[in-house]
A and B are shown apart, each in its own frame.
Chain A
Amino acid sequence: MKLDSKIPDGPLAEKWSRHKFNLKLVNPANKRKYDVIVVGTGLAGAAAAASLGELGYNVKAFCFQDSPRRAHSIAAQGGINAAKNYRNDGDSVYRLFYDTVKGGDYRAREANVYRLAEVSVNIIDQCVAQGVPFAREYGGLLDNRSFGGAQVSRTFYARGQTGQQLLLGAYSALSRMVDEGKVKMYARTEMLDLVVIDGHARGIVTRDLVTGAIETHSAHAVLLCTGGYGNVFYLSTNAQGSNVTAAWRAHKKGAFFGNPCFTQIHPTCIPVTGDHQSKLTLMSESLRNDGRVWVPKAAGDKRHPSEIPENERDYFLERKYPSFGNLVPRDVASRNAKEMCDEGRGVGQSGLAVYLDFADSIKRLGENAVRAKYGNLFDMYHQITGENPYKEPMRIYPAVHYTMGGLWVDYNLMTTIPGLYALGEANFSDHGANRLGASALMQGLADGYFVIPYTIGDYLATICPKPVDTTHPEFAAAKKRVEDRIQTLLSIKGTKTVTEYHRELGKIMWEYCGMARNEEGLKKALEMIRSLKADFWKNVNVLGTNEELNQQLERAGRVADFIELGELMVIDALNRDESCGGHFREEFQTEEGEAKRNDTDFCYVAAWEYTGENQPEVLHKEELKFENVKLTQRSYK
């Protein structure tokens, strides 16, 4: 199978308008004859379900939480980018496009990124019209802040709760469509498989998480808006329930998986305190606007930070990257923090932390101004660590945060299975090898509000609007496979808990496929994951039955899929003999220790095809062509 990215012809700035004109349309009277399934109600899913409902399609939306409003997007803190240039500081669609391509270390598609930058301005208009309370200035107009990897202020925010406010906006639009009967909402319902008939996505198999009922739902198109897979590392900033199951099941049904090894490690998270830890808490990147990152100059300096004089501190980001300073992109900031700790200059009990210090900002702006900007983040830090960040510097360390990889999609957001789309963090599309801060919210909403409503018509217009035949044997067969898998999980009755397997997988991934990777380690990880998988299916202990709310069973299925995904991530990391963005292979670095890309051999998207149980995945390459941006060694100096 040949990958066709369907990038439209024409000059960069005109591609999307031309494409919109060329896309086939579904006539308004016919729209209600098409059923569309939207799995996930985060920014991508809620925006898509609401917008498609408004257009007249029949939508069924699914989420595993008890309410669509609780999707993981709710937790995003810092902000959302848009090329509004309200600051008059030189921003433009082209600059946002350029920053994103560069920030992604030249591993994203130019055309997609340009479209993203183009629609970013509409997103802000849309959200304000819904009543999203973005931060404002005294004059009543919208305020902005800066984020990493950019030299302009283009980030819109709502205190430290931007994701919450944007999601509640999308949720309100979704709720309106539920009220109008255009969207039927299934909460506490988990998709466990995809139904593919004659090569096209035609439905899903779900489990009602309260009763355990396994059901099938048919549709003319299925949208996976199921978020990222950072929890493959066990500890991450993601919500506990975030998982890869929907995307992984689709992958096993024929959807290629793009760049699985591209994961983002966020530099500013609260360090791990012990084995009991269940998740890591992010301290928003926006803090790097006013906080200064430092470690003691001398290794092993265990003095209290207040006792370390100015000239014995190393503000290493400001020193190494004078033009971006504390606002270098995430991959660069994380790697540098790790380097400091590897040199023995880490701080705190474990030595696995660096300081993020607000003393200067408090002196310059006053405590109240700092509180107004970051109050809830400071409170959160205080609550978790018992330390007061107004009085002493925060301790931070990198943690797994976001996955740039995901299901491969073409320019229309369609996967390699016709009729199956992937939106938001679940797809691989716009961030290349590293995502810039405040760009995930932008991408989720762009996909849901402004891309899919156009592109889905192009597919639906080619298929007949008559109802999908649910008596097709594939529906029953898919359901049976799901039931059998659940019965297997319940019947193993081994000695190890699901959490133990998950934690073990996480350790392997963090150690060998985390912030720094090398061939030897990756090969070792491959063996370890394979034996973990074999052991899981022999020795996992899942209590209870299917016919009840059974949280162990839910997690068992997700962890089983994470184990398989982990293997593919390692294979992908081994294949990519270069360093780029979040993928840092120790063998490939510049003399100064920065990521060294290999554009001659690896300027492509790695799209992996599943070929069967215990068969090797097959690599397909989508060559990336850069017609507008010149590939250079990223420099933030």
Chain B
Amino acid sequence: MNLTLKVWRQKDASSAGKMVTYPAQNISPDMSFLEMIDVVNEGLVKKGEEPIAFDHDCREGICGMCSMFINGRPHGPKQGITTCQLHMRSFKDGDTISIEPWRAKAFPVVKDLVVDRSAFDRIIQAGGYVSVNTGVTIDANAIPIAKDIADEAFDAATCIGCGACVAACKNASAMLFLSAKVSQLALLPQGQVERDKRVERMIDQMEDEGFGSCTNTGACSAECPKEIGQHHIARLNREFITAKISSSNK
């Protein structure tokens, strides 16, 4: 296949960026999208031009590192997968493909398609955990958890922290990401003790990072590669209200 790429190039955080057009030739439909970029990059290096910088690591949809906004959609045209899982057989010979970084105030561009998502780490640091030190002595099976609850907690826990939800949202809200962690821990018995404090602190942190507020458009869930559902946001909202009521009663 032969394609035309329009790619966002930006030297560093403080420079202005622009879209640049590159041909991508002799692309096999079996290639992954990132392998297609590899081929283009090899060609650029051979010509003495700087290759396109992009984030990636596992290349199998689990590390959450890859992050391309392809033809106006985070992780491209297909549902339920990451950029690295997208294959060229999803495109047609002669297509023009636009590739941009995630766009959000809280995710500043570092270079080309690479953005800074450290805000997500700081949200987790604000309470996305159960406070247990290493060396607990309770036997694992002393905490039985009903299978349906465990499964629902698991669905939330599959979030890979990629940020597609933020990139998809017109308000650049991080509610889906946040809700995945809050929901997981709110469902499990281990998460109960810190339940109220957790949700309050994490929401505060999210606001401090400059993410927008949620207006329930549902774009986040629709574009989430792990298909984290909107109902987790509903649970997050309930958690937050309960926490507020109980802290104002104290």
B121 touches A185 (CB 8 A): yes
Q: Which of A140-192 contact B (CB under 8 A)?
A: 140-142, 158-159, 161, 163-165, 168, 171-173, 175-176, 178-179, 185, 187
Nearest B residue to A132 by beta-carbon distance? B157
B154 touches A159 (CB 8 A): yes
Q: Which of B119-150 contact A (CB under 8 A)?
A: 120-121, 124-141, 143-147, 150
Chain B contributes a number of interface residues (CB within 8 A of A) equal to: 76
A66 touches B118 (CB 8 A): yes
Is A124 engaged at the interface, CB distance under 8 Å to the other chain?
Answer: yes
Is A541 engaged at the interface, CB distance under 8 Å to the other chain?
Answer: yes
Is A241 engaged at the interface, CB distance under 8 Å to the other chain?
Answer: yes
Is A240 engaged at the interface, CB distance under 8 Å to the other chain?
Answer: yes
- Our pick among A65, A126, A133, A380 for the contact of B57 (Cβ within 8 Å) is A65
**Cα of A142 to Cα of B65 in the assembled complex, Å:** 31
A240 touches B130 (CB 8 A): no
Q: How far is the CB of A554 from chain B (nearest CB, A)?
A: 11
B138 touches A383 (CB 8 A): no
| A residues near B161, Cβ cutoff 8 Å | 67, 69-70
Q: Which of A64-80 contact B (CB under 8 A)?
A: 65-70, 72, 74-75
A172 touches B129 (CB 8 A): yes
Cβ proximity bits B88-103 to A, threshold 8 Å, 1 near / 0 not: 0100000000000000
Interface majority SS (helix, strand, loop, mixed), chain B: loop
| A residues near B60, Cβ cutoff 8 Å | 75, 279, 281, 380
A239 touches B63 (CB 8 A): yes
| Residue with the greatest number of chain B CB neighbours at <10 A, chosen from A72, A172, A178, A273 | A172
Is A86 engaged at the interface, CB distance under 8 Å to the other chain?
Answer: yes
| A residues near B53, Cβ cutoff 8 Å | 549, 551
B12 touches A548 (CB 8 A): yes
**Cα of A380 to Cα of B130 in the assembled complex, Å:** 31
| B residues near A548, Cβ cutoff 8 Å | 11-12, 111
| Residue with the greatest number of chain B CB neighbours at <10 A, chosen from A142, A176, A380 | A176
- Our pick among A75, A175, A179 for the contact of B63 (Cβ within 8 Å) is A75
| B residues near A14, Cβ cutoff 8 Å | none
**Cα of A47 to Cα of B157 in the assembled complex, Å:** 19
Q: Which of A257-294 contact B (CB under 8 A)?
A: 273-274, 276-279, 281
B124 touches A164 (CB 8 A): no
Nearest A residue to B154 by beta-carbon distance? A133
A133 touches B157 (CB 8 A): yes
| A residues near B118, Cβ cutoff 8 Å | 66-67, 187
A239 touches B133 (CB 8 A): no
| A residues near B125, Cβ cutoff 8 Å | 175-176, 178-179
One of B31-39, B206-214, B231-239 at the interface: B31-39
| A residues near B116, Cβ cutoff 8 Å | 66
User: A74-B63, A141-B144, A548-B12 are known contacts. Are A126 and B129 too (CB-CB below 8 A)?
Assistant: no
B134 touches A74 (CB 8 A): no
| B residues near A239, Cβ cutoff 8 Å | 57-59, 63
B154 touches A158 (CB 8 A): yes
A-B contacts at CB below 8 angstroms, number: 213
Is B242 engaged at the interface, CB distance under 8 Å to the other chain?
Answer: no
B141 touches A74 (CB 8 A): no
**Cα of A128 to Cα of B138 in the assembled complex, Å:** 9
Is A398 engaged at the interface, CB distance under 8 Å to the other chain?
Answer: no
| B residues near A66, Cβ cutoff 8 Å | 55, 65, 116-118
**Cα of A416 to Cα of B146 in the assembled complex, Å:** 49
Is B250 engaged at the interface, CB distance under 8 Å to the other chain?
Answer: no
Q: How far is the CB of A153 from chain B (nearest CB, A)?
A: 15
- Our pick among A131, A163, A178 for the contact of B184 (Cβ within 8 Å) is A131
Q: How far is the CB of B112 from chain A (nearest CB, A)?
A: 8
Q: Which of B131-180 contact A (CB under 8 A)?
A: 131-141, 143-147, 150, 153-154, 157-158, 160-161
B134 touches A47 (CB 8 A): yes
Q: Which of B192-218 contact A (CB under 8 A)?
A: none
A175 touches B124 (CB 8 A): yes
A133 touches B138 (CB 8 A): no
Nearest A residue to B188 by beta-carbon distance? A131
Q: How far is the CB of A380 from chain B (nearest CB, A)?
A: 7
Q: How far is the CB of A453 from chain B (nearest CB, A)?
A: 7
Q: How far is the CB of A211 from chain B (nearest CB, A)?
A: 9
**Cα of A580 to Cα of B50 in the assembled complex, Å:** 46
- Our pick among A139, A168, A279, A499 for the contact of B59 (Cβ within 8 Å) is A279
**Cα of A281 to Cα of B30 in the assembled complex, Å:** 14
One of B1-9, B41-49, B69-77 at the interface: B41-49
Is B110 engaged at the interface, CB distance under 8 Å to the other chain?
Answer: yes
| B residues near A386, Cβ cutoff 8 Å | 87, 89
Q: How far is the CB of A161 from chain B (nearest CB, A)?
A: 7
Q: How far is the CB of B87 from chain A (nearest CB, A)?
A: 7
User: A133-B184, A497-B42 are known contacts. Are A383 and B87 too (CB-CB below 8 A)?
Assistant: yes
B185 touches A383 (CB 8 A): no
Q: How far is the CB of A550 from chain B (nearest CB, A)?
A: 8
**Cα of A67 to Cα of B123 in the assembled complex, Å:** 12
User: A75-B58, A128-B143, A274-B28 are known contacts. Are A136 and B191 too (CB-CB below 8 A)?
Assistant: no
Q: How far is the CB of A558 from chain B (nearest CB, A)?
A: 13
Nearest B residue to A48 by beta-carbon distance? B134
Is B21 engaged at the interface, CB distance under 8 Å to the other chain?
Answer: no
- Our pick among A65, A172, A176 for the contact of B65 (Cβ within 8 Å) is A65
Q: How far is the CB of B109 from chain A (nearest CB, A)?
A: 11
| B residues near A122, Cβ cutoff 8 Å | 135
B185 touches A131 (CB 8 A): yes
B87 touches A54 (CB 8 A): no
User: A130-B190, A210-B110, A239-B63 are known contacts. Are A140 and B140 too (CB-CB below 8 A)?
Assistant: no
Is B85 engaged at the interface, CB distance under 8 Å to the other chain?
Answer: yes
A173 touches B63 (CB 8 A): no
Is A599 engaged at the interface, CB distance under 8 Å to the other chain?
Answer: no
Is A51 engaged at the interface, CB distance under 8 Å to the other chain?
Answer: yes
Is A534 engaged at the interface, CB distance under 8 Å to the other chain?
Answer: no
**Cα of A545 to Cα of B233 in the assembled complex, Å:** 44
- Our pick among A124, A135, A240 for the contact of B140 (Cβ within 8 Å) is A124
Nearest B residue to A47 by beta-carbon distance? B134
A173 touches B87 (CB 8 A): no
**Cα of A117 to Cα of B85 in the assembled complex, Å:** 36
| Residue with the greatest number of chain A CB neighbours at <10 A, chosen from B63, B126, B145 | B63
**Cα of A541 to Cα of B41 in the assembled complex, Å:** 13
Is B81 engaged at the interface, CB distance under 8 Å to the other chain?
Answer: yes
| Residue with the greatest number of chain B CB neighbours at <10 A, chosen from A133, A172, A449, A544 | A133
For this complex, 24 residue pairs linking A to B, each with C-beta atoms less than 8 Å apart, are A54-B134, A67-B117, A70-B65, A125-B136, A125-B139, A125-B140, A129-B136, A130-B132, A131-B129, A131-B185, A140-B146, A161-B62, A165-B154, A165-B157, A175-B121, A210-B110, A239-B57, A239-B59, A241-B57, A278-B35, A278-B59, A380-B85, A549-B110, A552-B51
> Considering the complex of A and B, which 9 residue pairs feature the smallest CB-CB distances, nearest first?
A140-B144, A172-B129, A128-B140, A51-B134, A133-B154, A70-B63, A239-B57, A179-B125, A129-B136
Other than the given A54-B134, A134-B150, 4 more pairs (CB < 8 A) read A66-B118, A136-B145, A175-B129, A277-B35
Residues of B near any A CB (own CB < 8 A):
11-12, 28, 30-32, 34-35, 38-39, 42, 45-46, 48-51, 53, 55-65, 81, 85, 87, 89, 110-111, 114, 116-118, 120-121, 124-141, 143-147, 150, 153-154, 157-158, 160-161, 184-185, 188, 190-191
